[in-house]
Structure 1
Amino acid sequence: MSSSFRSSHSSLDNSAFHTAEFNSSELNTSASSRPLAAYGWDDAWAAEFAPYAEQGLVPGRVVRVDRGQCDVVTADGTLRADTAFVTPHDPMRVICTGDWAAVEPVGDPRFVRTYLPRRTAFVRSTSSNRSEAQILAANVDHAIIAVSLAVELDLGRIERFLALAWESGAQPLVVLTKADLVPDPAGLSYLVQDVETTAPGVQVLPVSATTGEGVEILAAVVAGGTSVLLGQSGAGKSTLANALLGEEVMAVQAAREVDGKGRHTTTTRNLLVLPGGGVLIDTPGLRGVGLYDAESGVGQVFAEIEELAADCRFHDCAHLAEPGCAVLAAIEDGSLAERRLDSYRKLLRENQRIVAKTDARLRAEIRRDWKAKGAEGRANMQAKRGRLR
């Protein structure tokens, strides 16, 4: 046997050994993480985690976040971990419920060293004047927007939730809770249709945790992944969560009879395993639903307006008074509700203001646009005065 053949053969043996070693490591990681399958762990997450497994870290899903600490469920059970290594100044990068974390296997305290890149993230603008981002949940497949039928429907608020849901990358679902409070089937059908018009392409499901109406359908929808439960206080989120869990896990408080509003029963975001499959993240009631860089989400909520806008005479049509505006034509013939256009404009303006606070180039573009429109308005006024003389 020649030396060149031996060298080549040895190289192949080493390559095969390393390949076998890697495959064995991968299999061990996969096998040790099988208990996490109920929490959404899959082969894609295992592949993402492989470099951290080589460092001796273990995977786990964040089920609850406190100040500086979080609860992480691992293959060996739930542990409390310190987040000192994952608390950057950027609020978009802080760890949150739903993240897949790389955790130290031993230590007191144990530390979360990092988290895997998020597939989706539900983000809103904070209620502060700084308009910072706040991540409510990560790696979510379904965004369940709970809307109480105990009070008058606020279609504008539903549109806000939908814009954030579409922007997150999750599939929205509107659940009309407390359906038993609308005993008239025709009346309930009317309310469902009203919301369906507001939420094109989104399933709208009336549900009653009291009678069980719609609960099985909802459980089947959310069984295939991670769902986040969103809505105002008093929308019945905790009651709905208990109905899906099949037991009284979340505390429930009665809503006020005067306005149907409730107090914050849930104070933290908790990730819970559903008996029918899937996991649910229950969130505190949201008083403010501020947009945060959600232009594409707004466009998806108002898809019919964007489709109409494609037929406008001018590509930069503002749908105010321009000739050949297909959107205004739809308002005139009744095929588009004026409320929808007003809401569309409002959300786009709000989103633009939020983005402009962190985007200097966009701020400059907005100022130029204002100046151009001001100059155009002054020119039109002068021309009008000239004709009147």
Structure 2
Amino acid sequence: MNSPPADLQAIGWRADIDPRWRDAMAAHPDAHPARVVEQHRSGYVVATGPGEGVAVESLPEWQRPTGYRKGTVAPEDRPAVGDWVLVEDGRRIVALLPRRSAIKRGAAGEHYRQQLIAANVDVAFVVCGLDGDFNLRRIERYLLLVQGSGAQPVVVLTKADLPGADAAAAHAALAGIEALGVPAVAVNAKDAAAVEALAPWLHPGDTVVLVGSSGAGKSTLTNTLLGIDRMKTAAVREHDARGRHTTTHRALIPLPSGACLIDTPGMRELKPTGEEELADGGFGDVEVLAAQCRFRDCAHGREPGCAVRAAIARGELDEGRFLNYMKLGGEVAAAADRLASRLADKQGAKPASRAAHKRPDDRHGKR
């Protein structure tokens, strides 16, 4: 195939092409690479540069299931915003190129499903307002989903301009997370000069995704980075700082800096997929402490020689953070078992529980 247009670099194309991509492109010599910039229920919009995207047809097996037709490809294996695809005739997707990173969550509902949030992402801005939106436990949950994806997390504390916003207190609460190498930056998302603090993560060719709850300031931040009011914004409710969904679908937007930004709708439910590791979620220090307990199956309760409880007593480990570690560990273990069952059903084999190496109170716990 011909060399890809130079404009592709403006939407995240890298010079160091994945060798697997070369194989896929060789199999479709008449196709050209494009990036998925919007995903809708009815299909995809792709682009080959920073201009307007075009709607394209997708493979039949990627279509969403209906009442009379079942989907043949799992949702996480279909294209998402940020994916690179091969397009023929400028209107038909013929292949999905392998991903170098993917941020996913467990989808709501009884049956195990994964929902892909964004693909081929370099950095994830975990956006949280310095108002009633600030929630340390939720930030830890976001980090669990982000850090195992291959993307670098950065906590972005918006609304630093509000009366009563206490960035110093937020940084103090995040000290344990920042000590593990996760940056936290407080900004006034409406002020272009303040937003310059995010420049180190917005280099040309980088792709950044914004994740956070509704009303956290993601759309405001997007508008400021763009220099124009492109994204719709709305005020949060005064009594609980809850926001309304102003972003209704995921979209990839080229920035003046040369980076690409993926804005996403607010997420109130963050279920693990079962593929996460707690150490990736900013709990590496808790894992180190747990390994120092006298008993390998320590439940971190009343057992003698519990290094975790000793650290809590000394004030070196926040008890709320430890309890969230235990809670998330149980959720990851349960999701891992459901994932194993799904994979076993596909292969017609008996599922093997993965909980033994996922659940903290099993690995270090109940005897």
| Alpha-carbon distance in 2 for matches of 1:141, 1:219 | 14
2:49 matches 1:69: no
| Alpha-carbon distance in 1 for matches of 2:169, 2:193 | 17
Deviation at 1:37, TM superposition (A): 0.3
Deviation at 1:294, TM superposition (A): 4.3
Query: What percentage of aligned pairs have identical amino acids?
Result: 39
Task: Provide structure 1 residue ranges, at least 5 long, that are not aligned to the other structure.
Answer: 1-24, 377-389
Aligned residues: 338
Map of 2:336 onto structure 1 = 355
Cα deviations by residue, 1:100-143 (Å, 9 ceiling, x for unpaired): 0011135xxx2211111111100001121224110010000101
Cα deviations by residue, 1:311-365 (Å, 9 ceiling, x for unpaired): 2223333322332221121112221111111110000001111111232311796
2:13 matches 1:33: no
Deviation at 1:222, TM superposition (A): 2.1
Of the three residues 82, 96, 105, the one matched with 1:115 is 96
Q: 1:297 to 1:165 in 2, by over 3 A?
A: farther
Counterparts in 2 of 1:150-169, with a 5 A limit?
150-151=131-132, 153-169=134-150
Map of 1:311 onto structure 2 = 292
| Alpha-carbon distance in 2 for matches of 1:332, 1:313 | 17
1:38 aligns to what SS in structure 2? helix
Q: In structure 1, give the amino acid aligned to 2:75.
A: P
Structure (1 or 2) with the larger CA radius of gyration: 1
- Root mean square deviation of aligned Cα: 2.4
| Alpha-carbon distance in 2 for matches of 1:364, 1:101 | 35
Of the three residues 187, 190, 195, the one matched with 1:215 is 195
- Higher helix content, 1 or 2: 1
| Alpha-carbon distance in 1 for matches of 2:303, 2:276 | 23
Deviation at 1:198, TM superposition (A): 4.0
Task: Provide structure 2 residue ranges, at least 5 long, that are not aligned to the other structure.
Answer: 63-71, 341-350
Contact kept, 8 Å, 1:165 with 1:297, in 2: the verdict is no
| Alpha-carbon distance in 2 for matches of 1:37, 1:213 | 26
Counterparts in 2 of 1:133-212, with a 5 A limit?
133-151=114-132, 153-182=134-163, 187-199=166-178, 200-212=180-192
Deviation at 1:42, TM superposition (A): 1.7
| Alpha-carbon distance in 2 for matches of 1:152, 1:79 | 36
Map of 1:245 onto structure 2 = 226
Bigger mean CA deviation after superposition, 84-93 or 243-252: 84-93
The higher-RCO structure (CA 8 Å, 6+ apart) is 2
TM-score by length of 2: 0.85
1:318 aligns to what SS in structure 2? coil
Bigger mean CA deviation after superposition, 56-65 or 187-196: 187-196
Deviation at 1:295, TM superposition (A): 3.4
2:148 aligns to what SS in structure 1? helix
| Alpha-carbon distance in 1 for matches of 2:124, 2:210 | 6
Map of 1:3 onto structure 2 = none
Map of 1:81 onto structure 2 = 56
Contact kept, 8 Å, 1:264 with 1:285, in 2: the verdict is yes
Contact kept, 8 Å, 2:245 with 2:266, in 1: the verdict is yes
Q: In structure 2, give the amino acid aligned to 1:320.
A: G
Cα deviations by residue, 1:184-226 (Å, 9 ceiling, x for unpaired): 7xx4212222123345321100010234453001133222510
Of the three residues 30, 33, 41, the one matched with 1:59 is 33
Q: In structure 2, give the amino acid aligned to 1:35.
A: D
Counterparts in 2 of 1:288-367, with a 5 A limit?
288-359=269-340, 360-362=351-353
| Alpha-carbon distance in 1 for matches of 2:356, 2:23 | 43
Cα deviations by residue, 1:237-263 (Å, 9 ceiling, x for unpaired): 100110111111111111111211111
| Alpha-carbon distance in 1 for matches of 2:303, 2:151 | 36
Deviation at 1:43, TM superposition (A): 2.5
